[in-house]
Structure 1
Amino acid sequence: MEELLSIHLKIADRDYTFKSPPEEETMLREAWRLIRDRVEVHRNRGMRDTQDVMALIAIECLVTSLKSDEQSRQLQNRVYDKVAKLNQLVISTLA
């Protein structure tokens, strides 16, 4: 049975407890740091409603994720095209 860590984090004035495998603790804490920084940015811009701040952060995170997914797809397509061209070159050389 895998051991889970109990990690306590404060996000936008609320305390949360996460159960996390030890190998994910660093990523969880980095995600917490990034959210904390984004909360601070929005509050410095005058936004005080926590629900509004968290909604904006959620949208920002999803847009970033979608952009990253698209970049990964484009990179995979370029790699696939290069491999296909190399394959054709090898086949034509061997024929």
Structure 2
Amino acid sequence: MTTVQLLLTARGHAVKADGVYGTGTVAKVKAFQKAQHLPTDGIVGPDTWTRLVTTLKPGTKGTAVTALQHQLTANGHTVKTDGVYGP
């Protein structure tokens, strides 16, 4: 859930990245879905996920990079979570 929250923030729908899918996150998901002309059901399904994900490249900085780093760490890879797409 933290990855979704970080990606929402990166896409302009700032929400606290606390890993909890509470009412604040649901509201931000719905706002994102509305802005993307998706059904506003508050569920991060395939269509919503596809719109949240962004292409990153070395040198990129920001919350989307933090989301990537968080996801890599959650999947057992050791990376520094600093928001910088470095080596």
TM-score of the alignment, normalized to the shorter chain, above 0.5: no
Which of structures 1 and 2 has the bigger CA Rg?
1
Give TM-score scaled by structure 2 length.
0.29
Q: Which has the higher strand share?
A: 1
More contact order relative to length (CA 8 Å, sep ≥ 6)? 2
When you count helix as a share of all residues, which structure comes out higher?
A: 1
